[in-house]
Chain A
Amino acid sequence: MDPRQRNLLSMAVVLVLAALAWWQFWPLGEKITQGLDIQGGLSVILTAVETPETPVTDDVMDRAELIVRNRVDRLGASEVTIQRQGSDSILVQLPGIANAQEALDALGSTGQLEIRDVVSSDPTTGEVVLGEVLLTGDVITAASIGTNPQTNEIEVNVTFDSEGAAAWSEITGARIGQQIAIVLDGNIESAPVVRDRITGGQTTISGNFTPEEARRLKTVLETGALPVSLEFSESRLVGPTLGQDSLRKGVFAALAGLGLVALYLAAYYRGFGVASWFALSIFGSLFLGVLSLLSNFGWFALSLPGIAGIVLTIGLAADSEILMIERFKEEVRGGKTYRSAARHGTRHAIGTSLDADLVTFVSALMLYTFAIGPVRGFALTLMIGLAIDILNMVFWSRSVIITLAETVIPKVPWLFGVKGGEADV
């Protein structure tokens, strides 16, 4: 393939990608997920507080996460995300603020594991009426999963401390054949039937558990012994009107910035300026396309810091254009033909831009890796933008400048602010 064909092919591929991007991200409002600071909602970070006796281990965090999940489930909120943050924190995000107060109250309460009487249970609806609290979770010292050697069923083994063992013996002795309930934060986790009086502080719960259910019940039982408490580290509640207002301002600022840059480029670089409009449009299309693709997989939500990152990359993308144009003009001034100036100049300019983009990329990457909180959204959009800028430079802008140098520029050099680079001069 000769170079001319390769340039045309490269431009065609980029155009197709940009068109695909439009198809992917339009309409924007639906295709790009909005973060809580834009759509409104409650975002809370809970941190486990360590005491000298009990370090915050992974196991402790598993239990803590389950407690949190349990509390949030009880609110009946939809689209809740619960994520571990670092080694000792949990991030909970609830869209909408209708039940924010309730959510905060629930999240702020201390986990309560109880063993309670069952007054009645409806076998068809499964509805259970709870009675008196018989025992609280703090008497449980350990829980484990085992297999019954005779029936091969999965069981959950519970160990009580001495106080719990005595109480448990009394409770089970008085309720043989009756149901009791294991309740966490008011949710019934399991309602086994007592088979026998159990002494010695060891008891087994069986009931056709799947491994998953058994693990969950084990964790529930262990929460009774959760040695750490969860505290609010951060809580952000954003009203939906305010969020949308911020979004409007951000989009307006981004468009105004883009418009100014476009005008400046056209005024200063004339023909090349107009050519860079296309480059910037393609850059923008690909950028939004990637963001909506990531949204699709649930890997991206646009936050306000994310918008700041996008706005910054608009300027950086314009920089790359300027570098190429300036270098081209300089090579022509230095006596090269348009054609060889375009080839040579764009290659050098890409080398320079690459260095610059990579240095900024490294800063953003460090920020993304080490920082906590919303600023990571800024780092993420910045990194994506820089990557697209590099691709755009190599596959679009370079091809365009070379093609222009071979076709239009020799005919109307004044339009591109150059002279004297005709091949026969």
Chain B
Amino acid sequence: MFRREIDFLGNHRLFLILSITLVVVAIGSLVARGLTFGIEFQGGTVINISQAEGVSIDEVRGAFADAGAPGLVVQSTEGGGYIVRSTESDADVANDIFREVFGSLGLSTDVGDVATIGPGWGRNITRAALLALAAAVIAILLYISVRYEYKMSVVAVFTLVHDVLIVLGIYALVGREVTPNTIAALLTIMGYSLYDTIVVFHRIRENSMGLTRSTFTVMANHSLNQVIARSINTSITSIMPPLMLLFFGGETLGDFAFALVVGIVLGAYSSIGVATPLYTAWKEREPKFRALAKKFGAA
């Protein structure tokens, strides 16, 4: 009755090795390189020049230095513009610098933007972001516990921690800046990735009702095979729009897109490679399913 099936759970050692490697590399790069936080978290100024044809990076750097901007980092962007970061955290001063630089480079301020965050405000933003993160995790836990069972929610949160660690590791590795946008995108995409996990769990629960003819593991693997086509397809369709955003969206939107893309890929992997094996291993310890395992032989 079963069509050809992939033995996902039989390969759980492979997943385990992969996940452990990823987490170790992630922690390693977090320790070694650390995260770069955006000005929103620590105060400072970002100035964006979207069109600057014929202006070299040295000219830009020179103009900012002349205007007295402290702690300069100048980066060129794909569309022929520049992003300039400075530690200046006084809005009035930053705007004077902005005007002066655009004037001396002969550019219209229409093609630029300047954002300044005061030093105290960063603490506020960080606190709010952490609060949102904690509240979301608790709410999701409650939802899954009420709707399904606590074992699923514990596994789901464990998977979440796994995913977040790896994502942060990737941020540290590629040196991408962590902004409030990154956190917002990660938070929601983690919620969404749980969705993949929930779909599998949903099916496992459905199939486990009155299970007498196979072990829990065999049934769980069968469940995974049942939903795999849709899991792959939904991951592909959900990653396409953010991918377009990453390629064509420009700076702010790219910020969201990078976190979304990374989160979707990891979420798809971890629901198969982390959440289901863990949950299955845990369920196999229940007396009911242990009896089945005895009857049909270990999976």
Contact = CB atoms under 8 A, between A and B. Distances in A.
A305 B188 CA distance: 13
B48 interface: yes
Given A232-B91, A245-B50, A253-B249, A359 B195 contact: yes
Contacts of B112: 239, 242
Contacts of B190: 363
B131 interface: yes
Central interface residue in B99, B125, B256, by most chain A CB within 10 Å: B256
B108 A318 contact: no
A369 B226 CA distance: 37
B256 A367 contact: no
Interface in A360-399: 360, 362-367, 369-375, 378-379, 382
A379 B189 CA distance: 12
B83 to A, nearest CB: 12
A414 B135 CA distance: 48
Range, interface on chain A:
35 or more
B118 A234 contact: yes
Central interface residue in B131, B144, B147, B249, by most chain A CB within 10 Å: B249
Interface stretch (B28-36, B238-246, B273-281, B290-298): B238-246
A175 B214 CA distance: 102
A315 B115 contact: no
A130 interface: no
Interface stretch (B9-17, B64-72, B228-236): B228-236
Interface stretch (A136-144, A213-221, A258-266): A258-266
Nearest to B135: A366
Contact of B198 (A239, A254, A355): A355
Contact of B135 (A108, A307, A351, A370): A370
Contacts of B128: 370-372
Contacts of B101: none
B253 interface: yes
B234 A108 contact: no
Interface of A is mostly: helix
Contacts of B202: 351-352, 355
B234 A238 contact: no
Interface string B88-105: 001110111011000000
A304 B244 contact: no
Given A257-B240, A356-B199, A236 B115 contact: yes
Interface residues of B, number: 80
B260 interface: yes
Interface stretch (A37-45, A58-66, A401-409): A37-45
Contact of A374 (B95, B180, B198): B180
Interface string A55-99: 000000000000000000000000000000010000000000100
A249 interface: yes
23 contacts: A108-B92, A232-B116, A236-B116, A237-B114, A241-B108, A241-B110, A242-B112, A246-B251, A253-B253, A261-B237, A264-B237, A308-B249, A315-B241, A319-B234, A323-B199, A323-B230, A326-B233, A359-B143, A363-B187, A367-B187, A367-B188, A373-B180, A379-B188
B116 A235 contact: yes
A241 B111 contact: yes
Contacts of B109: 97, 237, 239
Contacts of B189: 312
A362 B40 contact: no
B187 to A, nearest CB: 5
